A and B are shown apart, each in its own frame.
Chain A
Amino acid sequence: MALPTYADPLERLWHRTYQVICVLVFIFLISPILIVIPLSFNVEPYFSFTEKMVRLDPAGYSTRWYDMLLTFGMQAPDVPRDGSWLADMWENSTWVNAAKNSVIIGFWATILATVLGTLAALGLSRPEMPYRRTIMAILISPMIVPIIIIATGMFFFFSNPCGVIGLECGRLTSTYLGVILAHTILGIPFVIITVTATLSGFDQSLIRAAQSLGANPRTTFFKVVMPLILPGVISGALFAFVTSFDEVVAVLFIAGPEQQTIPRQMWNGIREQISPAILAVATILVVISIALLTTVELLRRRSDRLRGVTGR
């Protein structure tokens, strides 16, 4: 913001202060995220910069913590790195297995949340939808209700899901399905919010135009509605995926040893003995979030362009 020419010295001083405050807040926001990147290459098991690192001495840096991520949990980490080493890593490395679980759970939770959420958002965006506000409030509530309450409730329910109707039918705790269902619930609000936001600018007469030109409802949906709301759907899906990928409390309560995810593994690492290996994981996750943010921003701009909204 440019300062008007009629500003007096006091206002100029205040304007400088304001700018300094803003810069400090930006530093506060971004430095914790960037600081982990150099720290994760520390050759020493410390959480601070060593003298060698400050002097930019290559000897102060190493990729040993990244290496540890691959080898931790392997049966024979020290053999020459050939095909059998790779197979061992793929099968036994704790972090690789956690990553696999995170991706599997995140993938299915995202699919479920996106399909159900998009359908519901289509219904909720229609002006004739009955009880719109109440239903919306219920569907958004997983984002508002404290996660510990959700996880506790699901823990009891999933340990005997048919108990409500007085039957026994196995359990959902310590199963992939249980964790996937829990993460679906947590991802749904994000899909609803992003897709209804996209639909809020949606021109309903386009549907009527398609129908008057002879398109059946299915063609109308896939040829007219879907391409327009797709950016919103994909953003919602990415939000749902990130939510699942970052979720630890529901996993703590519901998952068994077979379903350890990356956040769960990080939680263990932070609580037990925190080593820079955690910072290496953190760095990888920061890179992933930068990629996701870029994707979502590009999608949002595309969506705005499609809907004819100019600028931001």
Chain B
Amino acid sequence: MAQLLTTADGRPLAEALAQAQAKSRRRAFLLVVPLLLFVLVSFVLPIGQMLHRSVYHDGFSANAPALVAWFAANPAGTEPDEAAFAALTEDLRGMQANRTAGEAGTRVNYILSESRSMFTRAAREAGDLVPPYRDAFEALDPRWVQPAVWQAMRSSSSAYTTDFYVVSADFQRADDGSLVRVPENRQIYIYLFVKTFLLSGLITLICLLIGFPVAHLLATLPMAKANLLMILVLLPFWTSLLVRTTSWMALLQGEGVINDLLVWIGAVAEDGRLRMINNQTGTIIVMTHILLPFMILPLYSVMRVIPPSYARAARSLGATSWTTFRRIYLPQTLPGIGAGSLLVFILAVGYYITPALVGGADGQLFSNMIAFHMDNSNWSMAAALSAMLLVGVLILYWLYDRLVGIDRLKLG
């Protein structure tokens, strides 16, 4: 009954179709391959390699072979014996010869602050030390016989470590190796992480509140007028970020345009000039300005296609203007609100330049902390903090893709 459909040259149709489709899939894929490879090699790979540093640091393990062996032979909590101090002496002499005491000390310093100087000093003196080594070290610096130092060295003796994440999460290792929270006044990373997200949320909210009416105006004006006003939104979008930051500095600073204006009209006294820059206020104002177009554009593209007849129908059925807005108009703009807010939030969380230039001391965000550690060559710490920020951003990005769709991202 069922006759097999074939092509002109006798092949089954289904097979020929599958082949043709596979071929066109390959063709499409081949067009993407060059860019995909390029992005994988010079973007994904570098970031992966950098993140590897957040769990890998051989500054101590590579330079203290004798101690590594002693730690491997003795379980955690063992009181360091004379053999341990002999191993320490041997390694310190090696470090002095190779000039690596700083490197090893830096690694231990991540867990126990101020231990770097202990290493550099001890390495200088290591040549003159004589047995019994335990007493010699105690005489050199009593901290050497404390369990905390040995716990820190044990922790550093493996190149792969979670120590940097422990520090990033504001924890530290107790003398017995267990995790405890650092004192409240030193909990900087989690505090800054939360603050970055809160500030980004605040900036997103401000952008939404002031972007919504403008997007609505643009969407309801006649085309010619809307296009003209649209330039006012697009021009900031196209203007260099540094230019905008610079001009805000000119506007906001103590001797700047806004303060001069306020003094001139008598709103503030000469000595009561407002502090609007080099603090959190500066970061919020300038970032709101920079990110506002990213809110207005998606809102506008959604509002433009909302038919006005729904609102009119609601009004004619007796709804008040507030009810019409709340029940009819607002729900229809939700896709735009979602797209704009998520985009602004994602971009705000990773901001670096603006807080660095106008944020002062309390307006810094998480990215600035990463840069701070990079400047101080604390590369593993920078990598661990990057990983934290990256996870946060990628979750938001995933959310954006699920809710909005990456292919619906539009510019201008």
Q: Name A residues whose Cβ lies closer than 8 Å to a Cβ of B.
A: 1, 4, 6-7, 11, 14, 18-19, 21-22, 25-26, 28-33, 35-36, 39, 46-49, 116-117, 119-120, 122-124, 126, 128-130, 133, 135-142, 144-150, 152-158, 164, 181-182, 184-185, 188, 190, 193-194, 196-197, 235, 239, 242, 245-246, 248-249, 253, 263, 266-267, 270-271, 274, 278-279, 281-282, 285-286, 289-290, 292-293, 296-297, 300, 311-312
Q: Which residues of B contact A116 (CB under 8 A)?
A: 34-35, 38
Q: Is the interface of A mostly helix, strand, loop or mixed?
A: helix
Which residues in chain B, 1-56, are within 8 Å of chain A measured between CB atoms?
Answer: 21, 24-25, 27-32, 34-36, 38-40, 42-51, 53
In the complex the two chains form, what is the Cα distance from A48 to B349 in whole Å? 32
In the complex the two chains form, what is the Cα distance from A45 to B236 in whole Å? 26
Contact at A29–B236, with CB atoms within 8 Å?
Answer: yes
Measured CB to CB, the closest approach of chain B to A110, in angstroms, equals 15
- Give how many A-B residue pairs fall within 8 Å (CB-CB): 286
Task: Tell whether A48 pairs with B260 under 8 Å between CB atoms, given A33-B235, A149-B389, A153-B47.
Answer: yes
Q: Which residues of B contact A278 (CB under 8 A)?
A: 246
In the complex the two chains form, what is the Cα distance from A220 to B49 in whole Å? 42
B321 interface contact, C-beta 8 A: yes
Task: Tell whether A193 pairs with B47 under 8 Å between CB atoms, given A22-B214, A137-B397, A148-B370.
Answer: no
B257 interface contact, C-beta 8 A: yes
Contact at B247–A282, with CB atoms within 8 Å?
Answer: yes
Q: Which residues of B contact A123 (CB under 8 A)?
A: 27-32
Task: Tell whether A145 pairs with B350 under 8 Å between CB atoms, given A157-B46, A293-B231, A311-B223.
Answer: yes
In the complex the two chains form, what is the Cα distance from A145 to B340 in whole Å? 17
B289 interface contact, C-beta 8 A: yes
Q: Which of B28, B31, B246, B357 has the most CB of A within 10 A?
A: B246
Interface-side segment among B118-126, B143-151, B156-164, B248-256: B248-256
19 residue pairs of the A-B complex, CB under 8 angstroms, read A21-B213, A32-B289, A33-B236, A35-B251, A39-B250, A48-B256, A123-B31, A130-B28, A145-B390, A146-B352, A147-B353, A157-B50, A164-B49, A193-B411, A235-B412, A245-B240, A253-B374, A270-B249, A285-B243
Tell me which of B46, B235, B349 contacts A30 (CB under 8 A): B235
B330 interface contact, C-beta 8 A: no
Contact at B240–A289, with CB atoms within 8 Å?
Answer: yes
Q: Which residues of A contact B28 (CB under 8 A)?
A: 123-124, 126, 128-130
B234 interface contact, C-beta 8 A: yes
Task: Tell whether A28 pairs with B210 under 8 Å between CB atoms, given A33-B235, A246-B242, A279-B250.
Answer: yes
Which residues in chain B, 217-239, are within 8 Å of chain A measured between CB atoms?
Answer: 217, 220-221, 223, 226-227, 229, 231-236, 238-239
B292 interface contact, C-beta 8 A: yes
Measured CB to CB, the closest approach of chain A to B48, in angstroms, equals 8
Contact at A312–B257, with CB atoms within 8 Å?
Answer: no
Contact at A129–B25, with CB atoms within 8 Å?
Answer: yes
Tell me which of A1, A4, A33, A139 contacts B221 (CB under 8 A): A1
Contact at A47–B31, with CB atoms within 8 Å?
Answer: no
Q: Name B residues whose Cβ lies closer than 8 Å to a Cβ of A.
A: 21, 24-25, 27-32, 34-36, 38-40, 42-51, 53, 210-211, 213-214, 216-217, 220-221, 223, 226-227, 229, 231-236, 238-251, 253, 255-257, 260, 289, 292-293, 304, 315, 321, 346-347, 349-353, 357, 367, 370-371, 374, 379, 382-383, 386, 389-390, 393-394, 397, 401, 406-407, 409-412
Q: Which residues of A contact B40 (CB under 8 A)?
A: 138
Residue of A nearest to B50 (CB): A153
Q: Which of A123, A138, A194, A296 has the most CB of B within 10 A?
A: A123
Q: Which residues of A contact B50 (CB under 8 A)?
A: 149, 152-153, 156-157
Contact at A285–B370, with CB atoms within 8 Å?
Answer: no
Contact at A36–B213, with CB atoms within 8 Å?
Answer: no
Contact at A282–B44, with CB atoms within 8 Å?
Answer: no
Contact at B39–A142, with CB atoms within 8 Å?
Answer: yes
Residue of B nearest to A113 (CB): B35
Tell me which of B27, B214, B349, B406 contacts A140 (CB under 8 A): B406
In the complex the two chains form, what is the Cα distance from A156 to B242 in whole Å? 26
Measured CB to CB, the closest approach of chain A to B205, in angstroms, equals 15
Q: Which residues of A contact B253 (CB under 8 A)?
A: 47
Q: Which residues of B contact A292 (CB under 8 A)?
A: 238
Task: Tell whether A274 pairs with B249 under 8 Å between CB atoms, given A29-B232, A30-B236, A156-B50.
Answer: yes
Contact at A36–B247, with CB atoms within 8 Å?
Answer: yes
Contact at A153–B292, with CB atoms within 8 Å?
Answer: no
In the complex the two chains form, what is the Cα distance from A129 to B31 in whole Å? 10
Task: Tell whether A296 pairs with B412 under 8 Å between CB atoms, given A149-B386, A154-B46, A242-B238.
Answer: yes
Tell me which of A119, A124, A249, A282 contacts B353 (CB under 8 A): A249
Measured CB to CB, the closest approach of chain B to A196, in angstroms, equals 7
Contact at A152–B370, with CB atoms within 8 Å?
Answer: yes
Tell me which of A133, A150, A286, A293 contacts B234 (CB under 8 A): A293
Q: Which residues of A contact B397 (CB under 8 A)?
A: 137, 141, 144
Q: Which residues of B contact A279 (CB under 8 A)?
A: 246-247, 250
